[in-house]
Structure 1
Amino acid sequence: MEKITGFTRLHALLVDDDELAQVCRDLPESACRSQPHNYGVHIVSLSLTKVGEGLADPKLVLSWLLDAVGTPTWALGLLVPVRESLAMLPQLAISARLRRLSIRKPVYVVGCVVQGAAIISFGLMGWFAQMFSGTVVGIVAVALIAIFALGRSLCSISHKDLLGKTVDKGRRGSVSGTTGTIAALATLLLALGYSIGWIPLTVPVVAGMVVLGGGCWLLAAFVFGLVREEPGATEGSIDGLAAVIEQLGLLRRDAQLRRLIVTRTLLLSTALAPPFYIALSGDRAASGLGTLGPFMIASAAASLCSAYVWGRFSDRSSRLVLMLAATLAALANAVAAVVALAMPTVLQEASFLPALLFVLMIAHQGVRLGRSVHVVDMADRDNRATYTALSNSMVGLILLAGGVFGVIAQWLGIGAVLAIFTSMAALAIFAAAGLDDVQAT
């Protein structure tokens, strides 16, 4: 009989009684017995990592910290691309190695430790940055973000595999949705503190918050070590170039995987658009984080009110979640593009762009949760890590070309870029419509 722990009580609190009575659809009996405990472990550990992301957001917090200590602009511009692409590109090689391990939770634990150590180092660098030149700080910052991204890559590929091994189909979306809501609440409180002045906007204070965020990852590593994982299959695993070639062959054989990658690529518009919303606001003040408070609040509030709903909805139909999220993104970007191109005076309204960002970030939450649940549910226990790695690596490769939108904005204006993002999101609706309804199978 399953031992009653704080984690199992958390499962009982968050899962309906009717659902508790269900027989597991996608787990062996031994793993099913441990599901209440493992569900709670996932909730606590993933919440800690997401709170850490809120405290050390590269798009806002880390960028402000580097700007405040006089780091060159080229370093600021590299933070997000390096973080996103290096978190995805290595996953084909990682998944090949992961496939050889019968117990895979140590990979996730190591990934959390690497991320936590990199972020803590970033925060400490903020305290001692005045001892070095801005160029040196920029080089070290990009290197730390690269290390952080590699740790994130380990966590991304292993967590989806472990989630599929320890939490049954129909409950995985609620894990991501619940943790997203918890983290959004913490981030919203942080944004309010910065905006109202409760938290001083000084380098030592912000750097301290970054160090605290790194500590969240270290604590998450400890908590996840408590997950009860059943040994997985290791047969047929291969290493090196042969493994990469074999996994790339899935693109030729699996039309649904190709369609999911196309859908995810088109929906990159939800991740790439926010910086252009901020640029439209004309925010160039030195106290960037202070004046960006409304945007931080909009982003956190969007996560808070939508993450859990998207997660539960994804457990019913991740395909419909992607379609609806794409629709919301197309609407938000279309309004922003029309205003930027034809009615620029409207941009002077202080609440206009944060309101649009709120809608866009609701869509982005749907994209993140929908595609994550879809790739886990469309695969089986033996190829889940491979599917996740292949889709992430392909999207990461495409993401390297994301810098072209900055060039387009320089030549044709931000409105033109937002019009392109609108078209991408609209096409994603039709791409997602062709996906299988994997939760129904």
Structure 2
Amino acid sequence: MNNKQRLVASLAANKLADLLISAKTTLPALLITLGAPVWMISWLVPIRESGALLPQSVIGILLRSMSARHTIWRAGIVVQMAACLVIVAAALMFKNSTAGWLILAALVVLSLGRSACSLTVKDIEANIAAKGERGHLLGKASTASGVLTLMVAVPLVFFEQSMGLTIIVALVATATAALLLTLLILLPVTTYVDTAGVSGDTDNQTRFWQFDSVIYRFVLVRGLFVHSALVAPYFMLESQSGADELLPLYLAAQAAAAMLSSLIWGRLSDYSARRTLQLSGVIAVAACMGLLWFNSESIWVSGLLFFVLSVAHTGVRTGRKTYSLDVREGQSRTELVAFSNTAIGFILLAFGALYAVLPAMISFSVVYIMTAVLIVAIGLTVMLPKEK
């Protein structure tokens, strides 16, 4: 197995773990089943995403004196595995708000581990794959992970009557195993980044906070596109069906979306990551409008709408990852990713706090507001210059 094959296989296993312990599907269903307060559910996505993003500016600075990026990536995977095991233990031993607090705390730790991985894997990907083929490799990994997740989720769809806490916990345990596989596959691969002249250069350290306007425009647009993830738990919360009924269908929908659309999004991102963001944003808006307009009791209609949203979110993720990979090189790329990710972390926390209190203050669904923000995000993509 060559390094490109190892990268695709490892990314696929990692994405499988992400899908199985998703803050948009599995964790909301777990908290609902355990009887945790509803406000905790609205914090899952912000904690999951912001926790993985906020520390990256600090990590980016520390990496100036650490050229061996693979060692940090490996440590991050181990931390995520430990956090998954804590979630399993909390679900088996506690209920209600106690279980909710422990799971949220473990999610914070998991997100910190993912933060180190998210930043350093960009260097590994860039070292193995050249510009113009990175989006395709990401697409192949997402497709493979979608196939693997479908193999887990589809049987659960047809036996949803037997769904309960044990099955949901088993999904988290399977995610832990997938993380271990992620680590083992990429273990032989090493990546070193030239940090000469960076770690001791105060001018470079100053420029870390003084990017050109393109970077700030990218942060703004990406900050609004986070609603493609933030809106996901509301598809389950606003459904008339139970969480245990919806979870296997949502997992299958999310996996099918990754399997069917990732290669297309990858190819489109290699052509234009900006166009990818625009098109995926339109699809996300269509999914949200469907949720608002079709007040159906059918779990299949709910599953179809979540599939459309998942297709859109796959496009958003692929587009913004490819854009950040291609717009800068080397340590400059590392620090660009770190700065933008930390900024998005703060944005996610702000939106998370807003949407935790907003439902009690308005008489309509917050999905209307999220849809409007996505429309604004699509319009603002015209500010982004071509990255190719």
User: CA 1:77–1:350 in 2, change beyond 3 Å: closer, same or farther?
Assistant: closer
Contact 1:101/1:234 (<8 A) preserved: no
Shift of residue 225, structure 1, vs aligned partner: 2.2
Q: Which deviates more, 303-312 or 403-412? A: 403-412
Partner of 1:293: 248
CA distance in 1 between partners of 2:269 and 2:376 (Å): 20
1:302 aligns with 2:257: yes
CA distance in 2, matches of 1:265, 1:384: 18
Letter in 2 for 1:410: A
Residues 163-189 of structure 1: per-residue CA shift (max 9 Å, x gap): 122210011111211111111222223
Query: Contact conserved, 1:329 with 1:364, CA < 8 A, in 2?
Result: yes
Aligned to 2:48: 83
Over 3 Å counting, the alpha-carbon distance change for 1:154 and 1:239 in structure 2 is farther
1:17-416 map, 5 Å? 37-127=2-92, 129=93, 132=94, 134-197=96-159, 200-237=162-199, 246-250=207-211, 254-283=212-241, 285=242, 288-337=243-292, 339=293, 346-403=295-352, 404-415=354-365
Report the CA distance between 1:212 and its aligned residue: 2.3
Change over 3 Å in CA distance of 1:73–1:422 after alignment to 2: closer
SS at match of 2:191: coil
Q: Give the TM-score taking structure 2 as reference length.
A: 0.90
Report sequence identity in percent: 29
Return the alpha-carbon distance in structure 2 between the equivalents of residues 227 and 190 of structure 1: 29
**8 Å Cα contact 1:119/1:210 also seen in 2:** yes
Moved more, 97-106 or 72-81: 72-81
When structure 1 is superposed on structure 2, of 146-155 and 352-361 the one drifting more is: 352-361
Q: 1:421 to 1:136 in 2, by over 3 A?
A: closer
- Distance in 2 (CA, whole Å) between partners of 1:137 and 1:424 is 33
Q: Describe the SS at the equivalent of 1:383.
A: helix
Question: What is the letter of the counterpart of residue 249 of structure 1?
Answer: Q
C-alpha change, 1:107 and 1:234, in structure 2 (3 Å) is: farther
* Structure 1, gaps ≥5 residues long: 1-5, 7-36
Q: Which amino acid aligns with 2:89?
A: L
Superposition pairs of residues 411-422 of structure 1, within 5 angstroms: 411-415=361-365, 417-422=366-371
- 1:24 alignment counterpart: none
CA contact (8 A) 1:90 1:153 kept: yes
- Partner residue, 1:9: none
Distance 2:34 2:201 in 1: 44
Distance 2:112 2:240 in 1: 34
Alignment partner for residue 431 of structure 1, among 376, 380, 383? 380
2:296 aligns to what SS in structure 1? helix
Preserved CA contact (<8 Å) 2:125 2:134: yes
Greater CA drift, 289-298 or 171-180: 289-298
In structure 2, what is the Cα distance between the partners aligned to 1:136 and 1:202?
19
How many angstroms apart in 1 are the aligned matches of 2:51 and 2:334?
17
Per-residue Cα deviation, 1:60-84 (whole angstroms, up to 9, x for no partner): 3233334434445454444332221
Give the TM-score of the pair, scaled to structure 1.
0.80
Report the Cα distance in structure 2 between the residues aligned to 1:281 and 1:244, rounded to whole angstroms: 49
Please say if residues 269 and 276 of structure 2, whose CA atoms lie closer than 8 Å, have aligned partners that are also in contact: yes
Query: What is the total number of aligned residue pairs between the two structures?
Result: 387
The change in CA–CA distance for 1:38 and 1:148 in structure 2 (over 3 A counts) is same
- Once the two structures are superposed, what CA deviation does each residue of 1:217-262 show, in whole Å capped at 9, x if it has no partner? 122122222114344234222699x998652222xxx111111111
State the structure with more CA Rg: 1
Moved more, 372-381 or 274-283: 274-283
Matched to 2:73, the amino acid is: Y
Asked if the contact 1:120–1:215 (Cα under 8 Å) also holds between the matched residues in 2, the reply is no
| 3-state SS of paired residue (1:226) | coil
Inter-partner Cα distance in structure 1 for 2:42 and 2:299? 26
Counterpart-to-counterpart distance in 2, 1:331 and 1:162: 35
User: Structure with the greater relative contact order (CA < 8 A, sep ≥ 6): 1 or 2?
Assistant: 2
